[in-house]
Structure 1
Amino acid sequence: MTEDQIADLASSGLLYLLGAILLILIVVKGVKIVPQSEKYVVERFGRLSAVLGPGINIIVPFIDHVAHRISILERQLPAMSQDAITADNVLVQVESSVFFRILHPEKTVYRIRDVDEAIATTVAGIVRSEIGRMELDEVQSNRSQLTDTIKQSLKEAVDDWGIEVTRAELLDVNLDEATRAAMLQQLNAERARRALVTEAEGKRRAVELQADGELYAAEQIAKARRIQADAEAYATGVVAQAIKDNGIEAAQYQVALKQVEALTALGTGDGKQTIVLPAAAIEAFSDAFGLLGGRKGP
């Protein structure tokens, strides 16, 4: 083999080697395998060309290049603490946390420089604004509603950045020592007021029950008197009916009966065995006994 042939073979082998290297470079530069948890932002001559999703992707080698590798996993910002003033001028310290993920990397990359810092600043502003519209009692009692409001406002604010806010939480609402002392004093005063109200309610209830008892007793007495009056009226009616049926003789008989009962009552007491009566009374009693004798004879 001549030297020219050797030189030709060497040049051919070199060409093959260069071709293989070039092919490998084309494959490496043109084929991109994107992990499931990421998206790639591809640029061409400094401009956005494409966003590569998970799997095998092909780009133009040496022209297109991957400029940004963006994680699409949900991430959490560190707990943030900021001061806010409520509508009733109470200074509170609010601790919050935000969970988010990137949905559109092309917006995130080209519209905002530091995503975490931007979200933290936005959350602080929204929290101060929302708490400034509420009084302290509302902040404490409506924390879930306040959280939903902050989350919705944050979603609208970061929508242009290609970010989805998955969760926003108010971890704690702290008060300064002076406010805590004032609230404790107010709580003690409220407890004392409730105790006084309870005691007053008890006394009022006792008076009502006593009045109800007296009213019930009066009703029972009135009922008994009404029954007695009905009985007397019935007796009177019986006497009247007897007088109507038997004439004056029945009336005289009733009068004589009453006179005898009165005489018997006068003679039953101690020291009352001797009774001095006028002659007219004795004559009346004689008539009464005569009537009674006449009624019993038959």
Structure 2
Amino acid sequence: MDADSGVSGGLILILVLALVILVTIWRGIKIVPQSEKYVIERLGRLHKVLGPGLNLIVPFLDVVRHRVSVLERQLPHMQQDAITRDNVLLQADMVVFYRVLEPERTVYRIRDIDAAVGTTVAGIVRSEIGRLELDEVQSNRSTLNGAIKQHLAEATDDWGIAVTRAEVLDINLDAATREAMLQQLNAERARRAAVTQAEGEKRAMELRADAELYTAQKLAEARRISAEADAYATEVVAQAIHTHGTAAVEFEIRKRQVEAFAKMSDSQGRQTIVLPADLAEAFGTAARLFGGTRT
């Protein structure tokens, strides 16, 4: 009996030691998922942060105090009241995304990170919108979003997080303000239409004036050319008179009579032709003059 008792006691002791060793090994091995980081405390103080994968710690001394997700987080949809520089009350719909980069700061410097970020966003949005007029808030949305994100990143730097997105999605106004803006928009459209019509009429007048000026210039140019032609013809006649005397004048007169007769004979619908008495003489004189000039 004593031998059997000794064997049983030794076996139990071995089993207990084996169990203790297994528990110790189990507690000293930590496998961290890819989406998390573990904050380890040793004897109540921050010791280190475990990254994804297989990690070893000192059993019974090191304790996993916080399991922090490093996935990107989205705050609940926010609606923030603000007053613009021109005293217009509006409501801004906000969306904020952030990630935890340094879990040791997040868990030891702030108790409720989501509430802290939300409160900070509310203050920054009120401050930034208060610097702008309503038209600037609506037209420069990207500039406003950039300023909010920058100030939010500076304010939350000590918390070990990174703000990845902070945007004003929509601007909501009360009914009275919307009605006033609609009237202003209609008045602006009417003004632009009147300006466009006036500019069109002005352009049409300019085009008409240009056309009239162009016509006057062409008529003046035609008169000038005609005057130059008449002057040239006169100069030719004068030169002929100077060279041939009165014979050249008589030749020119007889030539004009012959041309006029040719035009009368070519005209349609004429049955009777009146011939001047000196037509034959005109032909003869022209022939003599023409022959004389050639000699």
- TM class, shorter-chain normalised? 0.7 to 0.9
- Structure 1: distance between partners of 2:165 and 2:283: 114
Q: Quick one: which amino acid aligns to residue 124 of structure 1?
A: A
SS at match of 2:111: coil
- Quote how far apart the aligned CAs of 1:190 are: 0.9
- Structure 1: distance between partners of 2:16 and 2:38: 30
- Quote how far apart the aligned CAs of 1:24 are: 2.7
- Quote how far apart the aligned CAs of 1:255 are: 11
- Structure 2: distance between partners of 1:176 and 1:297: 105
SS at match of 1:13: helix
| Map of 1:89 onto structure 2 | 87
| Map of 1:103 onto structure 2 | 101
8 Å Cα contact 1:242/1:250 also seen in 2: no
Q: What are the superposed Cα offsets for residues 200-259 of structure 1, whole Å, 9 maximum, x if unpaired? A: 223223322332232233223212221221122112101221222134x358748988xx
Which residue of 149, 152, 177 maps to 2:150? 152
Q: What are the superposed Cα offsets for residues 134-166 of structure 1, whole Å, 9 maximum, x if unpaired? A: 222222222223222222222222221111222
Over the aligned positions, Cα root-mean-square deviation in angstroms equals 2.9
Closer, same or farther in 2 for the Cα pair 1:246/1:122, shift >3 Å? same
- Structure 2: distance between partners of 1:221 and 1:193: 42
| Map of 1:172 onto structure 2 | 170
Give TM-score scaled by structure 2 length.
0.80
- Structure 2: distance between partners of 1:94 and 1:172: 6
| Map of 1:63 onto structure 2 | 61
- Structure 2: distance between partners of 1:255 and 1:218: 34
Identify the range of structure 1 (82-91 vs 45-54) with the bigger mean alpha-carbon deviation. 82-91
- Structure 2: distance between partners of 1:109 and 1:246: 126
| Map of 1:135 onto structure 2 | 133
Q: Quick one: which amino acid aligns to residue 88 of structure 2?
A: V
| Map of 1:112 onto structure 2 | 110
- Quote how far apart the aligned CAs of 1:47 are: 0.4
8 Å Cα contact 1:85/1:132 also seen in 2: yes
Closer, same or farther in 2 for the Cα pair 1:297/1:225, shift >3 Å? closer
Where do 5+ consecutive residues of structure 1 fail to align?
261-290
- Structure 2: distance between partners of 1:84 and 1:95: 11
| Map of 2:122 onto structure 1 | 124
SS at match of 1:172: strand
Closer, same or farther in 2 for the Cα pair 1:53/1:256, shift >3 Å? closer
Closer, same or farther in 2 for the Cα pair 1:56/1:255, shift >3 Å? closer
Give TM-score scaled by structure 1 length.
0.79
- Quote how far apart the aligned CAs of 1:294 are: 10
- Quote how far apart the aligned CAs of 1:102 are: 1.1
Which residue of 178, 182, 202 maps to 2:200? 202
8 Å Cα contact 2:95/2:167 also seen in 1: yes
Q: Quick one: which amino acid aligns to residue 75 of structure 1?
A: R
| Map of 2:236 onto structure 1 | 238
| Map of 1:214 onto structure 2 | 212
1:12-31 equivalences under 5 Å are 12-31=10-29
- The number of equivalent residue pairs is 267
Where do 5+ consecutive residues of structure 2 fail to align?
258-280, 289-295
Q: What are the superposed Cα offsets for residues 6-50 of structure 1, whole Å, 9 maximum, x if unpaired? A: 443343233223212322321232222222211111111110011
1:52 aligns with 2:50: yes
| Map of 2:269 onto structure 1 | none
- Structure 1: distance between partners of 2:249 and 2:141: 96
- Structure 2: distance between partners of 1:223 and 1:147: 66
Closer, same or farther in 2 for the Cα pair 1:297/1:215, shift >3 Å? closer
Moved over 4 A (4+): 250-257, 291-298
